[in-house]
Amino acid sequence: MTTATSRIQIEQDVVGVLAQLDAEAQLLPVPLAATATAADTTSIRSTTLDRGNPSTGRYDGMIVKILDDTGAGPAVGETSMVVSSGYDGTDKITVSPAFTAAVISGQQFLLYPRRWAPETVVAAIRRVLRGTRQHHLWAPSLIADSDMDSGVLTNWDAVGTPTTREFVTTAANILHGERSLHIITNALTEGASTEIAYVGENETLLVSVPIQVISGSCAVVARNATAGSDLETIATVDDPLFTEVRKLLIPISSDMEELTLRFLSATAASEFYVSPHVIVQSQWERHYAAPSWLESEAQIVDALYLPQGYTTSEVSYAYAALSRAARTLPGGYQLQRSDRDVTPVRVSFANPGNDPVYFLCRRPAADVTTDSGTTILDREYVREKALSLLWADRGEDQRAASARRKAHSRATAMGYSGPLLRIDEGPEVAV
């Protein structure tokens, strides 16, 4: 099971290493904790500060960053700086500018060693995340936002007035992807719809979508959006086990140019989840726009198809999702690349059968833009990799090389350094 680590936790780890090389900071724990509530918003009290040299200028110019939120003190990420002669020689440092609230007893904070700032460390951590590519499955589809990657709910229009239409990130309710669409209804034929997919007249299309039904039932409906009428109900499912609804739509009528998929309650009270990937693929040779993160053909490891799984009930065109292993796609695919285009990369293939096609890719790890945001990359790996970048930026080559070796060792231990993950550092590749 992957463990999520917040950005500020990794920042704490990096500061812990940097502090070992500072005459004053190396005597202090990382993080520090206030041992008494401050009397004002421009001071911090901690008896731990009295380790070592009692000089009043001991901590001058060091940056303070709040590490946790106790609900009463300053918020996570608030920063300030120790003023000149800012240590009282016992347990108090004075800072400027003021925090939004007094630091309370037990609240943790980072005391940055001299020469280092939070912005520099955070920038290095984010460079590691953006430069690390992880194993990822992408399924081309004529449906917009078929992997729900954007997190924009307006891509999944309400049909009727469902009581709930939301994205969720609970692992038990997601088959692939980072979120699924959660629908609750109190009336028949309510739910959600995809955006319009433009189709060719007389084109044969494969539909594949995973559904989990908690209560009631869900009908997957193909709709002729050109005529404003339903084309057919592909299947109606009612299983809490993720069920793949899969069928070839043969053929698209000669006057049909627009298709949508609807996910509707087939009983008055229903609750269900629609998980990525919502796939509509053509048996024609079609170009599919690659996602923005797919910048190069080198990121594609393999093309796969998913054989039809086992039937779960008497319902036609419904199968136990992921009950068969994926296989390499015969016949391959083609890439079209034009870097100055609005859509720089497109992938082209024909789906000759009734099995959805997936691409095994290397995708950059998610950037983390807030202190409380999390990453699933290994905490020790990110720390060492960030340190290697910080040292390299300052021309400290031996320390950079040492941290890089540690990062490589951790990447190997975590299975990162195999063919499914690559780490880029501009002109230098470290792993």
Tens digit of pLDDT for each residue in 114-134? 999 999 999 999 999 988 888
264: domain CATH number is 2.60.120.260
Q: Find all residues with CB under 8 Å of 8, minimum gap 6, and list them.
A: 67, 76, 77, 371, 372
114 touches 62 (CB < 8 A): yes
389's torsion region: left (phi>0), alpha (psi -120 to 50) or beta? alpha
405 residue type, one letter: R
Q: What percent of the chain has pLDDT over 90?
A: 73
Q: What percent of the chain has pLDDT over 70?
A: 95
Residue 249 and residue 375 in one domain: no
Number of other CB atoms surrounding residue 201 within 10 Å: 12
Residue 167 and residue 183 in one domain: yes
Three-state SS for 153? helix
Note the pLDDT of residue 369: 94
Q: Does residue 79 lie within any of the structural domains?
A: yes
Residue 405 and residue 338 in one domain: no
Alpha carbons 94 and 80: distance in angstroms, whole number: 10
Number of other CB atoms surrounding residue 36 within 10 Å: 15
In the predicted structure, residue 301 carries a pLDDT above the cut 50 = yes
In the predicted structure, residue 293 carries a pLDDT above the cut 50 = yes
107 touches 34 (CB < 8 A): yes
In the predicted structure, residue 192 carries a pLDDT above the cut 90 = yes
Residue 342 and residue 414 in one domain: no
DSSP string, 365-384: PPP--SSS-EE-S-HHHHHH
Alpha carbons 291 and 362: distance in angstroms, whole number: 12
In the predicted structure, residue 431 carries a pLDDT above the cut 50 = no
Q: Does residue 1 lie within any of the structural domains?
A: no
Residue 255 and residue 380 in one domain: no
Of 78, 88, 76, 93, the C-alpha closest to 38 is: 93
Output the average pLDDT for the chain. 91
Q: How confident is the model at residue 296 (pLDDT cuts 50, 70, 90)?
A: confident
Three-state SS for 86? strand
Q: Does residue 11 lie within any of the structural domains?
A: no
What's the average model confidence in pLDDT over 339-346? Answer: 89
What's the average model confidence in pLDDT over 148-165? Answer: 95
131 touches 425 (CB < 8 A): yes
**Domain-terminating residue out of 330, 355, 380:** 355
208 touches 244 (CB < 8 A): yes
Residue 102 and residue 127 in one domain: no
Beta strands in 251-392 (DSSP E): 258-265, 270-274, 279-282, 285-289, 300-305, 318-320, 327-328, 334-337, 345-350, 357-364, 374-375
Q: Does residue 149 lie within any of the structural domains?
A: yes
Q: Does residue 196 lie within any of the structural domains?
A: yes
DSSP string, 269-283: SEEEEE-S--EEEES
Q: How confident is the model at residue 416 (pLDDT cuts 50, 70, 90)?
A: low
In the predicted structure, residue 277 carries a pLDDT above the cut 90 = yes
**What are the φ/ψ torsions at residue 26 (nearest 5 degrees)?**
-65, -15
Rg of the chain over all Cα atoms, to the nearest angstrom = 27
Q: Which residues pair with 210 in a beta bridge?
A: 244
Q: What is the DSSP letter of 425?
A: B
179 residue type, one letter: R
Per-residue tokens: 227: 């005529």
**What are the φ/ψ torsions at residue 162 (nearest 5 degrees)?**
-60, 145
Q: How confident is the model at residue 1 (pLDDT cuts 50, 70, 90)?
A: very low
What is the residue range of 176's domain?
A: 140-355
Q: What is the DSSP letter of 99?
A: P
Residue 371 and residue 283 in one domain: no
In the predicted structure, residue 426 carries a pLDDT above the cut 70 = no
Q: Does residue 195 lie within any of the structural domains?
A: yes
Residue 146 and residue 286 in one domain: yes
Residue 148 and residue 211 in one domain: yes
DSSP string, 109-137: EEEPPTT--HHHHHHHHHHHHHHEEEEEE
**Domain-terminating residue out of 332, 355, 378:** 355
pLDDT in tens, 96-119: 999 999 999 999 999 999 999 999
| Cα Dmax for the chain | 86
pLDDT in tens, 211-256: 999 999 999 999 999 999 999 999 999 999 999 999 998 777 778 9
What's the average model confidence in pLDDT over 63-72? Answer: 91
In the predicted structure, residue 421 carries a pLDDT above the cut 90 = no
Q: Find all residues with CB under 8 Å of 91, minimum gap 6, and list them.
A: 35, 36, 45, 46, 47, 49, 50
Q: Which residues pair with 207 in a beta bridge?
A: 247, 280
Number of domains making up the chain: 3
pLDDT in tens, 371-405: 999 999 999 999 999 999 999 999 999 999 999 99
In the predicted structure, residue 422 carries a pLDDT above the cut 60 = no
Q: Does residue 274 lie within any of the structural domains?
A: yes
Lowest mean pLDDT among 93-107, 158-172, 296-310: 296-310
Residue 203 and residue 103 in one domain: no
Q: How confident is the model at residue 2 (pLDDT cuts 50, 70, 90)?
A: low
Residue 51 and residue 157 in one domain: no
In the predicted structure, residue 423 carries a pLDDT above the cut 60 = no
Residue 301 and residue 387 in one domain: no
Q: Does residue 3 lie within any of the structural domains?
A: no
